[in-house]
Structures are given as structure tokens and as C-alpha cells.
Structure 1
Amino acid sequence: MQEGIDKSKILEIVRKQLSIDMNCNTEDFDKGEIVFSESKLNKGRRMFDRQSPFLEIATMGKSVVVTADRDILVKIKPLLENKTREDIFVAPFIFGHSLYYIPDCKRLKKLPLPNGFEFCLKEGKEIHELYKILGFENALQYDINHPRPDVIALYATCGSEIVAMAGASADSNLMWQIGIDVIPKFRNKGLATSLVSNLAIMIMEQGVVPYYGAASSNIASQSVAYRSGFTPTWMCTYKNTFDGTAPYDGNIK
């Protein structure tokens, strides 16, 4: 792995990235309080599509940082400013939570593929060749013009068939996100763990922080993260209900 990248350095980079994304200060995540910030499209942010109106809430375990468009922020601040962290994350105007993981440098290591499988690697524009093969939507963007382009794809083959793939998207200059897909009949063989751990090491060797996201309800994906040598580091909301796209919005009304 890249020398100089240890847990403290990784956490420093994560705080920096989140502070850019959420338009706050890096130290806000360690204050142990609720921090409110008006949202802003800062340079260097992770290039995700933003829901409109925009609201996102995140915690690294101490503070809760709330960022939102100005007209939303003035309405929700009085509702949240005296709430506990747990109460904030079940507020009725948000739905869905994601857990995010970074490498545990003491546990992350190169792992061999199970017998009968082989590693294959593609980088940069080589990855576009894989777009003709469907079924790996968590690992690949399938879009040569995507704002978070695919940068590395490490996959496993069984004979001539691609059966599992881990891909990394360049979400920002600081952090690349790993996604994994395994064809159903090849699951529970250790393929996901091997691919994710080895891809993470490749990313760190380039001096970039790899990270892994999973919905809070996706236990299988969280297990892959743990077995691959990752540790949970922050949590954030997935969407808000202000635009009427919540799955039960019509039922509630």
C-alpha cells in the first residue's frame, strides 16, 4: 500500500471530502453537536446528482452535520436543533440511510481468488469494453461521459465467463468508491471479498482513498465490507421527501 496512508491520514481525507460536500469545516464533524450549513456546489465535491430541494445529514459518530438549500434549512433547523442524533435520523422528511466504510489498514490485505477463478484487470478507457456486458450495475457506470467515471475494474472469470466484478468510480480527486457485483450462482464463494480487498489496495497504491457504501438495510453488502478489511466510518441520509418521490408519499397523503 502507498506509504504514508494510515488510518489517521484516511480519516483526515474523509473529513476534508465531507466538509467540501456539505459546505462545512472539517472540525465540525468532531464537535459533538448539531451543525447546520447552507448547501453549496463547492469545487472538489463528489459529483453526485443532487435532489432538489436538497437536504443531507451526516455523522462520523460525534457531530451531526445538516446541510440543505437555504429555504429548507430555515424550516428544519428549529425542528432539529434540540434533537438527539437518533431522533434526527428518523425525521419524517428524510428516508434511506447509507453506511460508508474505509480500509482498516491493520486488516486489509491481498486475498487470493478461490480455486477455479482468475483475476482480470482493466483501467481507464479499457473499461468501456466491459459496457457491452450487462449485469454489473453496482461495479460499472455504463456511461463513457459519467461525471464519476470508472477508473479501475477488477473482475473474476470462470473459463471465458465474467462471474464477479469490483469497480471503482472517481467520485472526486480524493476518494474513489468501490462497487461489487457477483452473478447469483457464484455467490458465497469468497469472490466479492477477494475482489474488493485487492481493488482497495490497488487504489491506495495510487495515493487515493477507496471507500465502500451500503444501504443500512443491506446486511450482505455490509458483511462484504467487513470481510474485505473495511471499517464503518460515517453515515448519511439517502434522500428527502420534499419533492414527493418518497416511496409511500402518496399513501401518507
Structure 2
Amino acid sequence: MTNQELLRIAMWQSAIDANCCTEDFCQNENRIVLSTSNPDARKYLTLPFYCNLISYGNNIVASVNEEIADVVKEYINKYPVEHCFETPNIHMLNNELQKKDMLICFMAEYFLPDMNVLIAKSCDYETRVLFPEDFANLYTTEWANALCQKRKHLDVLAVAAYDKDRLIGLAGCSADCKVMWQIGVDVLPEYRRKGIASALTSRLAIEAIHYDKIPFYCAAWSNIRSVRNAIKSGFRPAWIEMTSESIDFVSEINR
């Protein structure tokens, strides 16, 4: 697969998630669409969205509830694309969402592999490919980024690093939709900065591609360590999203 093909498929999946057309992400004008449920959407999404903004860099596609559509349209057309995803501008949108008992909740950057640079990197420790029966007992706090306790059935593949018989790092793939698998990775604190995370992430990405799946990686913008790992592993920024949730939902997370 080429980088262009990977990007096109990612946009196709985003279109399913947002209830729009793939071509909408390539336009110069912003788009407002009404959100709806779709069984082919990424499994961790809560649909329909109340307000979800997606950008692949050209414009913003806003997938929204009808009652907030006019407000969001005014907002995304008032500021440059990049400013709509950062302060101080997002306070303007958040103030309007709060009137509807909603708040901006999730803000993330998504990465796709660069097929021109992606290789299986090495580290100084043994690595092994694991399957669900191999990591069934690894749903603990140490590996909470690599494996998802709430959606165990979606965890399909992993690559682990060992210091002798001790598990020291784990990258896992979640089959979040039919064509794309999300990678998460954890390394024990005392083993960080040794190239383990990038070795696991890059090898798992290649393993996923061997299964004809597109690996993707998600990181909060403020998580410098995670973003550095994405870049070192051969991934590059592809799109960004910002999602609202109910005030109660946000309050529960903040407890």
C-alpha cells in the first residue's frame, strides 16, 4: 500500500464515523453533517455524536446533532482550521456546548504509518508476537494502553518485549473497525528510553499490514512521549479530532 492509499482508506473510515462522504475531507470549504449511528464505525465511538470536529488539514467536517448545527457552523467558519482546535478559540464553542449540558471532552491527533520509512526497528531485548490466548492474563494497569479491559474481544494481536522471562513492554492492536487496527503501547518505567516502544510499535504495525489491516496510532497533543514514539516508529500525523460529551460524562472522568 502507498501512503496515498492509506490516507484514502482512513478518510473512508472517518466518513463512515461522521456520516459524510470521503471527498468532504478534501474540500477547501468546511462541512456540517448530521451524525447518526453506523455499525461499521469505530467500535469505541459513542454515536451519534453531539459535536465532533474532524480535520485532515484542508478543512473541518463537523458531525453534529441538529440542535447545535448552526452554532458549530458559525464557529468553524469564523476561525482558521487549526485555531478551531486550540485555545483560546475553543472556549467560544465550549461556552455554547455548556448551554446544552455538553462540554468538549476528547482532543487527539491520529497517525498513519509512512510506508517510505516504516521498518521493524530492533531493541536489546527479545520480542515475541502474541495472540489473544497469549495475553489473556495481561489485562492489568501496567498494560492498559496496549490492551483494553472494556473491549477484550477487539484485541487481536500484540508484540511483547522480555528481559529474560520478565515482560517489560507490550504493544497491542485493537480491531476497532473492519479495515483499521489501533496500536497502543506500554513499557515499564525502568525500561523506557531504550528503544523498546518503537521496536514494538513498528513491528506490530508491519504485522497488522501483513493481515491487510491499516495500523493507526492515537495520542493526545500534550503526550510528548507518545508522539515521539509515533514518529520514531515510522508514523506521521494524518488527522485530528475534537469530541464533546455530556457534563456528567466529563465529571465522571474527572473524579
What TM-score comes out, normalization by structure 2 length? 0.86
Q: Which residue does the alignment assign to 1:186?
A: 191
Cα deviation per residue 1:157-216 (whole Å; 9 max; x = unaligned)? 112211110000001011000001010000000000100000000000111000001001
Counterpart contact for 1:47–1:147, Cα < 8 Å: no
Q: Which residue does the alignment assign to 1:113?
A: 123
Counterpart contact for 2:57–2:81, Cα < 8 Å: no
Matches within 5 A, 1:229-240: 229-237=234-242, 239-240=243-244
Q: Which residue does the alignment assign to 1:223?
A: 228
Alpha-carbon distance, 1:246 to partner: 4.9
Counterpart contact for 1:109–1:201, Cα < 8 Å: yes
* Partner SS state of residue 11, structure 1: helix
In 2, Cα distance between equivalents of 1:172 and 1:53 = 17
In 1, Cα distance between equivalents of 2:48 and 2:172 = 28
Alpha-carbon distance, 1:62 to partner: 0.3
- Say if 2:181 is the partner of 1:173: no
> Residues 212, 53 of structure 1: CA spacing in aligned structure 2 closer, same or farther, 3 A cutoff?
closer
Alpha-carbon distance, 1:245 to partner: 5.0
Q: What amino acid is aligned across from residue 111 of structure 1 in structure 2?
A: K
Q: Which residue does the alignment assign to 2:110?
A: 100
**What runs of 5+ residues in structure 1 fail to find an aligned partner?**
none
Counterpart contact for 1:137–1:181, Cα < 8 Å: yes
> Residues 29, 10 of structure 1: CA spacing in aligned structure 2 closer, same or farther, 3 A cutoff?
same
In 2, Cα distance between equivalents of 1:86 and 1:23 = 22
Alpha-carbon distance, 1:243 to partner: 2.5
> Residues 111, 218 of structure 1: CA spacing in aligned structure 2 closer, same or farther, 3 A cutoff?
same
- Say if 2:53 is the partner of 1:48: no
Cα deviation per residue 1:86-113 (whole Å; 9 max; x = unaligned)? 3322322235421111110111001222
Q: Which residue does the alignment assign to 2:100?
A: none
* Partner SS state of residue 124, structure 1: coil
Alpha-carbon distance, 1:76 to partner: 2.6
Alpha-carbon distance, 1:244 to partner: 5.2
> Residues 241, 200 of structure 1: CA spacing in aligned structure 2 closer, same or farther, 3 A cutoff?
closer
In 2, Cα distance between equivalents of 1:123 and 1:236 = 30
In 1, Cα distance between equivalents of 2:37 and 2:142 = 32
Q: Which residue does the alignment assign to 1:67?
A: 63
- For this pair of structures, how many residues does the alignment match? 238
Of residues 132, 139, 142, the one that matches 2:146 is 139
Counterpart contact for 1:101–1:212, Cα < 8 Å: yes
**What runs of 5+ residues in structure 2 fail to find an aligned partner?**
95-103
Counterpart contact for 1:30–1:62, Cα < 8 Å: yes
- Say if 2:34 is the partner of 1:30: no
* Partner SS state of residue 18, structure 1: helix
In 1, Cα distance between equivalents of 2:75 and 2:215 = 35
In 2, Cα distance between equivalents of 1:142 and 1:129 = 11
> Residues 30, 198 of structure 1: CA spacing in aligned structure 2 closer, same or farther, 3 A cutoff?
same
Cα deviation per residue 1:108-147 (whole Å; 9 max; x = unaligned)? 0012221xx211221134331323x54110000124xx27
> Residues 148, 23 of structure 1: CA spacing in aligned structure 2 closer, same or farther, 3 A cutoff?
farther
In 2, Cα distance between equivalents of 1:34 and 1:41 = 22
Which structure has greater helix proportion?
A: 2
Alpha carbon RMSD of aligned pairs, Å? 2.1
Q: Which moved more, 1:25-34 or 1:79-88?
A: 79-88
